Every structure is written in structure tokens, then in C-alpha cells.
Copies of this chain bind each other. A is one copy, B any other.
Amino acid sequence: MAGEVESIEKFLDEYMPSAELKEVKRLLYGKEIRLLEFPAEAEELAKEKDFELKGYGCDAARESSRLPKIVRIAGVQNKIVLPTSAPVAEQRDAIWAKISEIIRCAAICGVNILCLQEAWTMPFAFCTREKKPWAEFAESAERGPTTKFLQQLAQQYNMVIVSPILERDEDHGDILANTAVIISNTGDVMGKTCKNHIPRVGDFNESTYYMEGNTGHRVFQTQFGKIAVNICYGRHHPQNWMMYGVNGAEIVFNPSATVGALSEPLWPIEARNAAIANSYFVCGINRVGTETFPNEFTSGDGKPAHKDFGHFYGSSYVAAPDGSRTPGLSRTRDGIIIAEVDLNLCRQVKDHWGFRMTQRLDLYAEELADVNKPSWKPNIIN
């Protein structure tokens, strides 16, 4: 038990007798989700490049008036490659090289829509509060080198790629933003969507670098389904998740970077709750590994200065609108999680549970409008 634990599922599988394991998994994960098998070429690539490859299938009932909408979605979690002291362009290029292999593996596995982790081209350097050299990682969402790099892969593999980067918004005074670029399977940039809620907690000093996004809750109609991106800390805000649902999302990606001591017991709860409450699929992606920086920093917790961010615990997973979920990827290794989902399940669950029908958005619009008036007082009965 020294060091970081691999996963909770590993313990359960190891110690629990099979009948009890089945019941525990039903209670923890909902209905049984089937395992996907992949071509040997993909398995070999994963082994050679040392990343985990896991796949699960989530079915829906057949309907007589709609064909199934079977889509393979994927989330990628990865460590950085070079030390954070290496030149910025070299760090980025080394991550590009790693990711291009994982995307190739995804293509072999028939993935239609893939999302990378938050600020995937760089270490999560916002703990440092230094602008130099980290701001150098920022680039144009529409025209930057990372977008061009992925456009080529998206077209080659006929795959929608969601690329969460540190954006340099050249059209708006060179400001930074935390942005996901949506690249169509044709290789075109469909658009971008920004992080709506920015943390100020522990080492997450992101409000030093960029402001709350002003791109609202847009949904992208890709060839494979309607997708949205709720970046990282936005997962703590249920109303943020809700608005992507109200705009019609069928799949919401949540590319994140979060560490064990801060958020780990919250991780299985929030994204899954969003999938349930909004009758859509969620793919929660967390960075993995420990990142060490050249200069020391403090964490706003009274403890001594240090140079690492703590352990990013991976554990990426997919949650379905019916409350079921896949196991998580490793807490320690690079990995790709693939889910084959039938998007018809979204509307089937809406019909069954009726959460949208019973949502009373008019009531909440009215109450929130009141809350924002200067005259508002909390509704407290003494």
C-alpha cells in the first residue's frame, strides 16, 4: 500500500466474492455495462506506449421510428513528458508526440469524438502565479499551432476532437482564456467555448491568469451528436451543467485538472449527478501524475513552500443518463477511456424519469431574477 493506489475497482475485484461484487457494483455503478473489445493492433500500441486502454458499451432500447445513434466517445488522461524546466516549445512538442499515438489508437478503436484533458499542451502551471514562461504556452484557438496539428488528425481519422488549451485571444487584446476548441471530423474549427467558473482554491490560482468565460453554454452539433464542454471547476456548479442540457447537449465533456487532497471524494459524484439530472452522457477527464516546477510556491494553507502540485489522480470515467457509469481509469497511468453509447438513451431517460418536464424553469427564472435585485432578502421564516 505504499504510494498511490491504482484504483478502487482493483481492490473490489481482488477481495470481493463474485456474488457480493455484483451487488456492490450494482449499488456503486448502476446497471451492468458491457466490456468492449478492441483490435489487437490497438492493444499492442497501448502496451508499447504504456497507456491504459479501456472500453465499455452502454445500450439503449430499440425503437421502431428511430435508428440507434451509436457513437464511440473517448477521454484521454496523460502525464506531461519533459521536465517543466525544458523550453516551452519542446515541452509542448513532446506532449503532441505522445498524444498523436493515443489518438491513433483511438482511431483504430473507431472513436468518433475524443476529448483531451484541460490545458493539455502544458503542465498545470497556475499554481506558480508566474506569467513567465507559462503564458508562452497560450495560443490562438482558431489559428494556433495546436489547433492546426489536431485539424490534420481530425480530418485523417474522421474524428471530432475537443482540444482544451490555454488560449491567447489575439482579437481581444491578447488576453488569456481557458478554452476548448471544437474541431470537426472534417478538420474545420467549429468554434470554441470557455471555462465559465474560475477557481480560487489552494494552488488553483487561475483567476490570476484569465477571467470567467463569456461564451455562455453553447452546444455543438457535430456529425456524431450534440456536444458541449464544461471545463474543470465548472463541474462544481449544477446550474452550469443544467444550461448545457437546456441547450440540447447529448454528451458533455468535463476536461479537468484536480488533485487528490482537494477533490477526490467529489470526483465520482459531480459529473455523474450532472448526467442523471440532465439526461445526457458525461465524460469526466482528469489529468494524471505529479508535476514539479522550477521555482517554489506556497499553497495558501500555511504550509512551507514547495515545488509540486500534488498528485493528479486521473480516474477518468463516463456516466450515462440512466445513472450507470463505467469504472474509472487508473489513478496513476496515462490512459484512454472509450464508451460506445447509444444517444437514443438520452430521450428515453427523459421520457422515463421526466426531469425536463418537471423542471419548472419558469419558477427558477423568477426566483433568480429576484435574487439579483438590490431589494432581495433571503426567504427565512423565524
Contacts and interface: CB of A to CB of B under 8 A. Distances in A.
A26 B265 contact: yes
Given A28-B265, A182-B381, A212-B360, 7 more contacts: A1-B19, A30-B265, A197-B360, A237-B358, A239-B239, A269-B273, A369-B369
A329 interface: no
Interface in A1-20: 1, 5, 8, 11-12, 15-17, 19-20
A238 interface: yes
B8 A28 contact: yes
A331 to B, nearest CB: 9
B364 A239 contact: yes
Contact of A248 (B11, B218, B369, B378): B378
13 contacts: A8-B24, A11-B24, A197-B359, A198-B358, A212-B358, A218-B381, A238-B273, A239-B242, A246-B371, A266-B323, A270-B276, A361-B371, A365-B369
A356 to B, nearest CB: 10
Interface residues of A, number: 82
Given A200-B357, A243-B367, A27 B264 contact: yes
Contact of A196 (B17, B264, B360): B360
B378 A247 contact: yes
Contacts of A19: 1
B238 A238 contact: yes
A379 interface: yes
A272 B238 CA distance: 13
A277 interface: yes
A270 B221 CA distance: 29
Interface in A324-354: 324, 352-354
Q: Which 3 interchain pairs have the tightest Cβ spacing?
A: A238-B238, A30-B265, A365-B368
A225 to B, nearest CB: 12
A242 B248 contact: no
Nearest to A4: B23
Given A8-B28, A190-B381, A379-B247, A277 B368 contact: no
